């Protein structure tokens, strides 16, 4: 059992990383007042560009950088449409998700059979060699890929920037009341562009992690709805980086359990009503049924967080989805 728990915790960290990266970027974008529903498409483009670059050059870091840049490029399109041309943020985001899915399906066909080395797990310097042998938690906490550690490091960094720096205060002001921020001399449009592009870069990095560290291969549609889960996690976390770490770990744990529970014998015997109970457990642990659990959990999270609560009470930026126009305000 200890071996199973250790493997489960290690897989949880790896599965949580793309959700964490994408959610942190979405927090920044939404804190600036721009909803980005194109996270799924940006993750797909980042995954393919990162994989193709690594397969061509042999450098996973170059692939990670290209995947991050690809996500930022798609986010720039979203920023131009929504900030400069005042397009509907929902429509623009959904369009980019569809575009990302279509482009990666078409251009990714030739990469499906390719393999790469990608990022290997490394031990944390200094303390890692002594602690990696700890039961259950050792490998999960002290032996992971560098992109896993990067995602964890971005949590306190994002929290500090958003809540302890001038640029963070400007982002919050732009997301809550862009007209007042503009009056105080805050460059509203520049701040919103920055937030959206940072959010897209983070989504691209999440996709690159999927193909370079998590799976080390390219599969059409490999994000499998993670972009949508990341958007839901932002609401669950109430637009706070530390809380999104908890949410990403929760959903990463669900995904890890689904993958690792197939070898467990969960049959029920020797108890009253063993037959019906065994049938119920068999249905609940059916791989096709278990594949729905992350999305069911997403729905449950959204219902619980928003039940009897106004958007302001759960922490949503007041000007989210509002396209600011200096000429008409």
List the structure tokens of 15: 């599965």
pLDDT of 32 above 60: yes
- 265-280 average pLDDT score: 61
Where do the domains of the chain lie? 2-306
- 84-104 average pLDDT score: 95
The predicted structure's pLDDT at residue 193: 97
What proportion of the chain, given as a percentage, has pLDDT over 70? 85
CB 233 within 8 A of CB 312: no
Q: Name the residue with higher pLDDT: 315 or 321.
A: 321
Cα(259)–Cα(302) distance, integer angstroms = 24
Mean pLDDT for all residues in the chain: 86
CA R_g for the chain = 21
Cα(59)–Cα(161) distance, integer angstroms = 30
The predicted structure's pLDDT at residue 223: 93
What proportion of the chain, given as a percentage, has pLDDT over 90? 57
CB 207 within 8 A of CB 71: yes
The predicted structure's pLDDT at residue 329: 44
The predicted structure's pLDDT at residue 8: 79
Cα(241)–Cα(20) distance, integer angstroms = 9
Estimate the crossing angle of helix 188-209 against helix 166-176, to 10 degrees: 100
Q: Which residues fall within 8 angstroms of residue 219, CB to CB, at 6 or more apart?
A: 112
Question: What fold does the segment set 2-306 form as a domain?
Answer: ABC transporter involved in vitamin B12 uptake, BtuC (1.10.3470)
The predicted structure's pLDDT at residue 164: 94
- 88-96 average pLDDT score: 95
List the structure tokens of 184: 């105080």
pLDDT of 328 above 50: no
The predicted structure's pLDDT at residue 168: 95
Name the pLDDT band for 312 (thresholds 50, 70, 90): very low
pLDDT tens-digit map of 121-172: 888 776 667 777 777 777 778 888 999 999 999 999 999 999 999 999 999 9
Give Cα separations from 69 to 42, 96, 108 (angstroms): 10, 16, 18
Cα(13)–Cα(195) distance, integer angstroms = 26
Region label for 33, one of left (φ > 0), alpha (ψ between -120 and 50) or beta (otherwise):
left
pLDDT tens-digit map of 206-264: 999 999 999 899 999 999 889 999 998 998 888 999 999 998 998 888 888 877 766 65
The predicted structure's pLDDT at residue 155: 96
CB 37 within 8 A of CB 327: no
pLDDT tens-digit map of 51-62: 999 999 999 999
């Amino acid at each position: 059992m200890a071996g199973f728990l250790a493997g489960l915790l290690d897989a949880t960290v790896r599965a949580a990383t793309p959700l964490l990266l994408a959610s942190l970027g979405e927090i920044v974008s939404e804190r600036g007042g721009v909803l980005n529903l194109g996270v799924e498409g940006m993750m797909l483009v980042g995954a393919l560009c990162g994989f193709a670059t690594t397969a061509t050059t042999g450098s996973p870091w170059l692939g990670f950088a290209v995947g991050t840049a690809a996500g930022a490029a798609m986010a720039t399109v979203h920023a131009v449409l929504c900030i400069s041309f005042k397009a509907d943020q929902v429509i623009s985001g959904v369009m980019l998700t569809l575009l990302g899915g279509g482009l990666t399906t078409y251009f990714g066909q030739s990469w499906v059979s390719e393999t790469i080395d990608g990022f290997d797990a490394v031990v944390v310097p200094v303390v890692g060699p002594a602690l990696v042998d700890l039961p259950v938690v050792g490998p999960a906490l002290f032996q992971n890929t560098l992109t896993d550690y990067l995602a964890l490091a971005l949590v306190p960094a994002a929290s500090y920037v958003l809540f302890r720096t001038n640029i963070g205060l400007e982002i919050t002001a732009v997301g809550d009341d862009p007209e007042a921020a503009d009056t105080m001399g805050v460059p509203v449009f520049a701040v919103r562009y920055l937030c959206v592009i940072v959010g897209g870069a983070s989504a691209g990095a999440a996709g690159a992690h999927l193909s370079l560290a998590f799976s080390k291969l390219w599969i059409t549609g490999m994000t499998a709805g993670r972009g949508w889960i990341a958007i839901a996690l932002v609401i669950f976390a109430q637009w706070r980086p530390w809380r999104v770490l908890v949410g990403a770990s929760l959903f990463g744990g669900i995904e890890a359990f689904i993958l690792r529970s197939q070898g467990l014998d969960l049959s029920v015997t020797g108890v009253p009503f063993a037959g019906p109970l065994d049938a119920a457990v068999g249905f609940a642990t059916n791989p096709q049924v278990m594949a729905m659990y992350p999305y069911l959990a997403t729905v449950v999270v959204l219902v619980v967080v928003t039940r009897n609560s106004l958007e302001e009470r759960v922490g949503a930026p007041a000007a989210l989805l509002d396209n600011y126009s200096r000429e008409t305000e």
